[in-house]
Each structure stands twice: as structure tokens, then as C-alpha cells.
Structure 1
Amino acid sequence: MADSSMVRFYQDNGYALVKGLLTKAEARAYREECHALLGRLSQTEATWGSARALAGRATELRHCHDVQFHSAAFTRLLVDPRFTDVAAALTGSENVQLHHTKIFVKPAEKGSPFPMHQDSAHFPHTRHTVGAAIFHFDDAPEEKGCVRVVPGSHKGGPLAHIEEGGWHLPLSEWPLEAAIPIEAEAGDVLFLGYLTVHGSGVNRAAEARTTLLIQFRDPEDRPADDVHRSRGQGMMLRGVDPGR
């Protein structure tokens, strides 16, 4: 459960890193599950066009949406109280609803970066309670292209994004290297508000970087536009949907 100091830090900075939410053994098992799932799929490349410009060379990013429909292991993780209790505390609601899930794997030595952006540009909501939990299934030092954030950037509200190349902020105004790297270990979970400006660098290490993204919200926070749907959207992860 998130304590009051973590909640205050999240409110002030727009992110919070929870150390050791999963054990090392659990993280290793989920890592194996991720790579096995991607091995069963034929189309997994998801590099943004703007990411290629940012990297200045050919890079790769493997991903999969709606992972709980592919493996029951991820279904169990979605409702794990260690995760949902923190999500509830950070959103300020007893009720936590799923928006979507994704696996992201940055291959060794050539894993694609993400330019700086806000997730709100992809799926705006009316009350801005949407958050992301990034589960790290292996270590993510800066060399592996860890997430980088601009603390406090959520307080400026939604920013205008460039649509071409993947809905990102202007590269010259929001350089990746100016953001703070959030290095993590296997089992750590990074919580981010969807207004927090963030990105990530190229994986230059000899090992892949493996993460799971769970995007969640207060069920009373409705989409501002019908622009993003997923098969699992609306599933209750904690509590109830007061509107139903």
C-alpha cells in the first residue's frame, strides 16, 4: 500500500517508483512469459517514426497489446492487490478500472527509444486520473533505455503534440537527455500520471529491456474523445464501477 509520503511525492512530481513490488523470482517468471508470448506472434514491431529520427539509426521495439487475452499470468497480475492498492491510493479512488495493457521489449543493443510525450495525447480524459504502472521484469539502468521523466510537468496540463511519427512533443523543445532517468531493478514498478512528460532512450546494453504497461483510471473519469479502445477496457481491477 502506498503511504502518505509516496502519494505526496506522486502529486508533486507526477511519478513514483515502487521498489520491489514483485519479487525477483516473480519478475523473472513474467519476463519469460513476455518473451514466450512475443515468440508466438508474427507482428510485434512498434517503433515510432519519430523514434527513428531520435535514435539516428535503425532500432527495434517489440510489443503486444491486451496481453491478458494471451496469457492468464497477466490476468492474475492485473488484480494483484500489491498493484491495485497503490493505484487506488495514487488516483485517490477506492475503485480502479483498466484502460489497456501492453508488453514492451527493447531488444539488446538496438532497442528503440520513445520521444518525450504525455500519454494524455493518445487518450484524453475529463478528470485526468489516468495513470500507468510500468512493471520491470529485468533491470533497467540508463544504458538499457530506462524511462526518463520531467518532474512536475503534469501541473501544466495537456500540451500540444506533433501527430506525425507517433504523437510526441517537439524534439528541440523537449530533449530526451534533459529529462531525469528513472533507473529500476527487476520487480520495481514505476507509476506515472498520464500528464507527466516522459520518454526513454535507446537500449545499448547486451540484454533486452522487458516491461509491462498497465494503464488504469478511476471509473468515474470518462474519456474526452472516443479515440482509443482495447479489448479489456472497462474491466474493474479493484472496487466497483459506481456508474453501473
Structure 2
Amino acid sequence: MLSADQKAFYDANGYLLITGFIGAEEAAQLRAEVHAIAARQGPTNATWSSVADQGTVLEHSHDVQFRSAAFTRLLVDPRLTGVFTSLIGPNVQLHHNKMFIKPPERGSPFPMHQDYGYFPHRGTSMTAVILHLDDAPNAKGCVRLYPGSHKLGPQEAIGQDHTVDPDRFPLDSALPIEAKAGDLLVFNYLTVHGSGLNVSEEPRTTWLAQVRDPEDEPISEQHQSRGQGMMLAGIDPRTVPFQFAWQSTA
């Protein structure tokens, strides 16, 4: 569980970096799992369209718990669910999770954006965590964000990548969140964030999960994923009639 000081910092700034969330050995094991998944699935490139002309690469996979049981266990690890329940309450529902590898020397950037643009909800419970599985200094294209920007509410989403106004939120002026292997970055989906190029000689490897309060319903059904709706802590208190998965039209 987070301390009162940690929660106060998060409420004020829209993010929190928890150093040493997992140990170096555990981070190395999860890193190996991510790179093994990447090797099994073959080349991918999740580079956003707005920066696709730079010749960079971003390896990724969604729904990682369907590829490695290590991430199934991680989703319900009490260390992680304790962070979530501290911030959004006792009921925590999975929205999606994914892995990223920014390759050496040409790992793609993420332009500045709010996650709200991809999956808007009626409330603000949607919370992301990025678990760093190797070191993420600025040269590797670490996350950059604008502290307190979650208080501005939803910003106009520009183009297919749902970016924010680059003149108002330039990447170079955002706060770099340099991290070590095992550190956990937590942020609200209204916090403006992005990341730079990996120009180092080593990959940057991360795992990301997005969760919500099950009663915080989406404005529109988009960004669907396998396993979405899985309860990681507590219950889904809504009254919903039972139906088989193949009967659902959602």
C-alpha cells in the first residue's frame, strides 16, 4: 500500500515513481520473458504514424498474460494490486497490458499525449503503471511528462495518434523520468506524457498495465483487448445478467 505522502504526491502531480518496486533479479527474469516473447512472435513495429518517417522501430505485444504465465501472476501480485487499491479503491479491473522494447540506437519515440484520447471514460480512475525491466536513462528514451497536467482535464486530441498540442506541451520541455530496472512509474490517464528516441547502445524494455474502477464506464467502446474486464482486486459490484462469452455483442 502507498503511504500518505506518496498518495499526496500522486494527487498533486498525476504520477509517482516507486524506486526498487521489484528487485534486480526479478526484473532480469521478466526482461528475459519479454525478449523471449519478442523472439517467438517475430518482428513487429508499433511506431506511431506521426513519427513513422524517422526510420525507427518499436517492438511490442499486447495481452502479455496470454503469452507468459509470469505476467498472469504479475497482474494479481499483491505488491501491484496494493498500489492500485491505494489510488482507485478496493475494486480494480484490468483494461489492458502490453510490453515494449525500444531497440538500441533507433528505438521509436512516443509523441506527447493523454491516454484519455485512446479510451475515454466517464471518470478519472484509469491508471497506468510502467514497470522498468532494464535501466531507462534519458538516452534510452525514458518517459517524459508534465507534472500536474492531469488537473487540466481532457485536451484536444490531434490526428490518428491522439497527440496533444506540441506547442503547448513540447517533448523537450517535459520532465524526464529516468528509472532503474525494477522501478515502477504510476500515472493517471489524463497526465500528459510521451518519450524520446532510444539513442543508446542498449534496448529499453518495459511492461505496461492499465486498470480502472469497474464502475468507471467507458464513453465509447474502443481499444478492446483479451482479458479486459478481469478483476485484479475486489469485485465488480454492477448488476449484470449472466451470458456466455460467445453471446456477447460488446
TM-score band w.r.t. shorter chain? over 0.9
Q: Cα deviation per residue 1:43-87 (whole Å; 9 max; x = unaligned)?
A: 52100021346xxx3111000000001110100000001011011
Match of 2:133 in 1: 137
- How far, CA to CA, are the matches of 1:51 and 1:186 in structure 2? 27
Match of 1:188 in 2: 183
Q: Cα deviation per residue 1:133-179 (whole Å; 9 max; x = unaligned)?
A: 10000000111000001000000111111123x22113333210010
- How far, CA to CA, are the matches of 1:51 and 1:132 in structure 2? 23
Match of 2:6 in 1: 6
Larger Cα-atom Rg: 2
Q: Please say if 1:48 is aligned against 2:45.
A: no
Corresponding residue to 2:64 among 67, 72, 75: 67
Match of 1:210 in 2: 205
Corresponding residue to 2:55 among 36, 55, 58: 58
Taking the TM superposition and a 5 Å limit, the aligned residue runs for 1:160-239 are 160-164=156-160, 166-239=161-234
- 3-state SS, counterpart of residue 103 of structure 1: strand
Q: Cα deviation per residue 1:202-231 (whole Å; 9 max; x = unaligned)?
A: 001111000000001111111111122111
- How far, CA to CA, are the matches of 1:173 and 1:197 in structure 2? 11
Match of 1:242 in 2: 237
- 3-state SS, counterpart of residue 205 of structure 2: strand
- How far, CA to CA, are the matches of 1:106 and 1:199 in structure 2? 13
- How far, CA to CA, are the matches of 2:97 and 2:79 in structure 1? 17
How many matched pairs?
239
Match of 1:117 in 2: 113
Q: Please say if 1:76 is aligned against 2:73.
A: yes
Q: For residue 239 of structure 1, report the CA deviation from its aligned partner.
A: 1.1
Normalised by the length of structure 1, the TM-score is 0.95
Corresponding residue to 1:90 among 87, 90, 102: 87
* Identity between Structure 1 and Structure 2 (%): 54
Q: Please list every run of 5 or more consecutive structure 2 residues that lacks an aligned counterpart in the other structure.
A: 240-250
Q: Which deviates further from its counterpart, 39-48 or 27-36?
A: 39-48
- 3-state SS, counterpart of residue 9 of structure 2: helix
Q: For residue 124 of structure 1, report the CA deviation from its aligned partner.
A: 0.4
Match of 2:19 in 1: 19
Q: Please list every run of 5 or more consecutive structure 1 residues that lacks an aligned counterpart in the other structure.
A: none
Read off the aligned partner of 2:154 and give its amino acid letter: P
Normalised by the length of structure 2, the TM-score is 0.93
- How far, CA to CA, are the matches of 2:136 and 2:24 in structure 1? 13
Q: Cα deviation per residue 1:9-35 (whole Å; 9 max; x = unaligned)?
A: 111100000111111000000000000
Read off the aligned partner of 2:12 and give its amino acid letter: D
Q: Cα deviation per residue 1:109-151 (whole Å; 9 max; x = unaligned)?
A: 1100000000000000111110101000000011100000100
